[in-house]
Structure 1
């Protein structure tokens, strides 16, 4: 029996005595005491886990963000600071991820650090964790060593997942120390490990990490302010050449939004996407930009390098919004389409696909977006595919990196449907938006306004985290840095229900196909030449060329022709803009 326990200890590595006895009892109860084989985890497997996010390191950060949201955290802080590493004898950068969630018990943190466990059985639609590998793949991609400090109302645990500790070993060792509350103090939880095991594990942690008893005590002190939560510290960060893969900027305290702290990917390369020509995609190399849109319905406050990330719920920031519903393999889907001024300026477009409220794919080009070039710039779609991608028997059509979908029938049909809806949106609204752009270009010169404003401007309460629609004409730039429901212009309270995204209004009417040459010139409703007409604020206008337009007064709808011109009937032979339109530019 002693030899068998020795073998088991070798298999389970850093597992404590309680777990060892539990495994032994299960083995002795097996029929006829048949010898069982257990797989050993070599330390090189830790590096292999990190390769799940080899293509994009922010996918590793997202795993830690997911865990905080699953823990119902309201506030999360991500920061890189310098810390003295006594083993190396120098200062080294350390990434910290701290939240005020509910924390983890000994069993929960043991499951988190285990190299594989059963998928959680939860019906929570907002729960993201499904695969049991997120923390390991994320932490081991970011750095070689990670320490987790977590506290619930009645317990506290420390876990150390380290490649440095396991270097040269035959099996992975993961030291864990757990405490339970007794009165006003936290003492070693002897129901899960012995005093001897606790002392040994703490000694190992202090030897192979910068966390001595003073630093551990300092970090534990953070729980006095928060009560519960989890702190993750990662060092020996991944390298890029002779420097680190991540580059951090603390920004300027009290500065503008252009001087806020951020964590960047040093290479600043854009990810490769089918049909993408733009090289300006901040989401790909700026953590702040990524976290602005990572959640479909953002509620958690996230700070990067000490400054708050202003969430950007895409569906609430679109212009000329259209909501399309459909049915794919018997499951309903809802797509929000519109034009975004920011993405137009950066020459980006595509669909943002969310699963359990978390962004899985961004700027997914579908339909005509793939080959349409500048015609689709600024067109953004937002869709939640949770029901569609959850198979129902525990399987999901999402890759365990949570950065892409698996190649499956449902995904293929989804892309086809998205392509159809995106093309319909372009066919129905493209020419209208083109005409509106010409009209608004005069506004840009007269008033300095953006070409495409969101249909409605929104602000998030810093207390209840609900989104409030601002009244028409209110200047959102006048709002304070911290805004609450009782402030202007809402003058309400946090108990008021949250408003929903509404359909936008298309103000210009035109067709995208050919001209009807049988109509009289001034009655034709097609194109920019040959007597085009559009309607704005209940009034109609006819024009042949933008240079012939004259605005009367400040009313945007008051447009007349500069002079009378006999229009020429034209026939469009193929799709795309008219050559005459290109000349007018």
Structure 2
């Protein structure tokens, strides 16, 4: 097949169908892929006020659906969305766009499943597009083809007219290779978009594990989860936002302006900083690349003590979560345990999967500055005994700490803590610590922190001791070698003395050399003695 060319005869680059699979691997997990589809509804060009995420079955196939009430897509916009690298999003009414690379829908949808169909209703048009790996494989396509049909909203009762005649090949392929095999089924699905305008995305042939189960777990009511077996829990338990889509969406935006519904229940619009205690908003950072100072918020988590660090946002969207910086990286530093920092870094550049920032000098300087301010905040909180930092401990650690208090004082831990507001609305939610036992006091919290830090210090000292033992063994071997060399030199000196005339002795330079080497040996023996203590006496 001849390559397409420009009007000047220069060959154009094309995309192989395998690129859809390759591009999907940019996501570390399904939640970052879902976030891309949510971002598309949030961005100012669509400006949806609500998005509904659900699971349904069509022709016995499990499907994941995303429905929003935004501005919808016409044929031109649909074509750009199904192409690669086209992005002309701009800020509207003060709302900054998140998308910038023109790749989010393609990578996100193909990470979740092999096939996707988009049904959209704009002000004047109805539009349907399909991006399907199964379709491309069945027709033996060499390049990525995207069937698209579009017609006037006033003719929504039938597929006819000049516009549909021009799109008849796309309509034929959509009906043959999508879950909707008749024109009536497709029209019914378009009519199901109840709002004046909006878009519905249906993804089928969902990704599955080696055991045949879907990567996403739909067994929990009102939530979509990642099975615990698929998460790396080698060090500590992972944050709830890593395994629960509801928890992840609750912190996805710094200032939520779009309601997200997951399987029929709204996600609470609860900004991350509203769940913190001992909040301090007096800190800021002035990068060289911007004119205004960037505010930084610090506070203590009221959830698990294991989950803390820096929450980094870009244009209101979460990019990095629980990223530990500065003194939080040291196992022996217990002052910074439980501290969460929140910063919006609109001046940095996110990676293409929006899960990290480019590792530039501007990014590194930001991390260094935040680390310094976090150390200052932790010092102020440590020196202020009036601060009560309520941190909910894991069940096993909390029970252990309460037992320790009972042993030392003869009574259980006491204290009160106000219930946190339930982010999903309704009555205040009582923490597990209030349901099972009294809330931990400041003394209890400090004991738990000190215990965790002492365990870390113990691990460090154990490693240091092993290094010193290895160093001692090396020095012992060197002592033995030097003792042998000293004995050999002594024998050689005595032999030289006996071979010379009775009045002739060793030359002064030789004696000086021998004395110098003996002094060196003595210094090494003293070093070994200081390291080993009495065990090194055997070498004297």
2:174 paired with 1:205 = yes
For residue 417 of structure 2, the aligned residue among 449, 468, 486 is 449
> 1:178 touches 1:189 (CA, 8 Å); kept in 2?
no
Any idea what the Cα deviations from partners look like across 1:518-540, whole Å, max 9, x if unmatched? Answer: xxxxxxxxxx9xxxxxxxxxxxx
CA shift at 1:476, angstroms?
Answer: 4.4
Q: 1:459 to 1:51 in 2, by over 3 A?
A: closer
Aligned to 2:319: 360
Aligned to 1:174: 146
d(CA) in 1 for partners of 2:319 and 2:218?
A: 24
CA shift at 1:64, angstroms?
Answer: 0.2
Larger CA Rg, structure 1 vs 2? 2
> 1:73 touches 1:101 (CA, 8 Å); kept in 2?
yes
Which consecutive unaligned segments of at least 5 residues does structure 1 have? Answer: 1-5, 12-22, 85-90, 252-260, 390-396, 463-474, 479-507, 509-527, 529-544, 547-575, 578-585
CA shift at 1:319, angstroms?
Answer: 0.8
For residue 51 of structure 2, the aligned residue among 76, 82, 86 is 76
Q: 1:189 to 1:140 in 2, by over 3 A?
A: farther
2:34 paired with 1:66 = no
1:390-539 to 2 correspondence within 5 Å?
397-430=349-382, 432=384, 436=388, 448-449=416-417, 476=428
> 2:87 touches 2:100 (CA, 8 Å); kept in 1?
no
Q: 1:410 to 1:222 in 2, by over 3 A?
A: same
CA shift at 1:175, angstroms?
Answer: 0.2
Q: 1:195 to 1:305 in 2, by over 3 A?
A: closer
Q: 1:187 to 1:384 in 2, by over 3 A?
A: same
Query: What's the secondary structure of 2:377's corresponding residue?
Result: helix
Query: What's the secondary structure of 2:319's corresponding residue?
Result: strand
Query: What's the secondary structure of 1:246's corresponding residue?
Result: coil
Q: 1:378 to 1:173 in 2, by over 3 A?
A: same
For residue 381 of structure 1, the aligned residue among 337, 341, 345 is 341
1:260-271 to 2 correspondence within 5 Å?
261-270=222-231
d(CA) in 1 for partners of 2:131 and 2:31?
A: 20
> 1:270 touches 1:281 (CA, 8 Å); kept in 2?
no
For residue 333 of structure 1, the aligned residue among 279, 294, 307 is 294
For residue 9 of structure 2, the aligned residue among 35, 48, 52 is 35
Any idea what the Cα deviations from partners look like across 1:248-304, whole Å, max 9, x if unmatched? Answer: 1352xxxxxxxxx111112455469xxx95313111121111001000001211111
> 2:90 touches 2:96 (CA, 8 Å); kept in 1?
no
d(CA) in 2 for partners of 1:423 and 1:343?
A: 21
For residue 245 of structure 2, the aligned residue among 282, 287, 290 is 287
Aligned to 1:158: 128
d(CA) in 1 for partners of 2:360 and 2:55?
A: 39
TM-score, normalised via structure 1 length: 0.64
Aligned to 2:203: 234
2:87 paired with 1:135 = no
More divergent stretch after superposition (179-188 vs 329-338):
179-188
Any idea what the Cα deviations from partners look like across 1:430-482, whole Å, max 9, x if unmatched? Answer: 354697469999999556525xx77xx697999xxxxxxxxxxxx8469xxxx
Aligned-residue CA RMSD (Å): 3.4
Q: 1:49 to 1:264 in 2, by over 3 A?
A: same
Aligned to 2:307: 348
> 1:269 touches 1:284 (CA, 8 Å); kept in 2?
no
Aligned to 1:45: 19
Aligned to 1:116: 85
CA shift at 1:418, angstroms?
Answer: 0.9
Aligned to 2:538: none
TM-score, normalised via structure 2 length: 0.69
Q: How many residues matched?
A: 409
CA shift at 1:120, angstroms?
Answer: 3.3
Query: What's the secondary structure of 2:26's corresponding residue?
Result: helix
d(CA) in 1 for partners of 2:62 and 2:320?
A: 30
Q: 1:376 to 1:188 in 2, by over 3 A?
A: farther
Q: 1:183 to 1:209 in 2, by over 3 A?
A: closer
CA shift at 1:380, angstroms?
Answer: 0.9
Which consecutive unaligned segments of at least 5 residues does structure 2 have? Answer: 393-401, 406-410, 431-441, 448-452, 455-540
> 1:145 touches 1:234 (CA, 8 Å); kept in 2?
yes
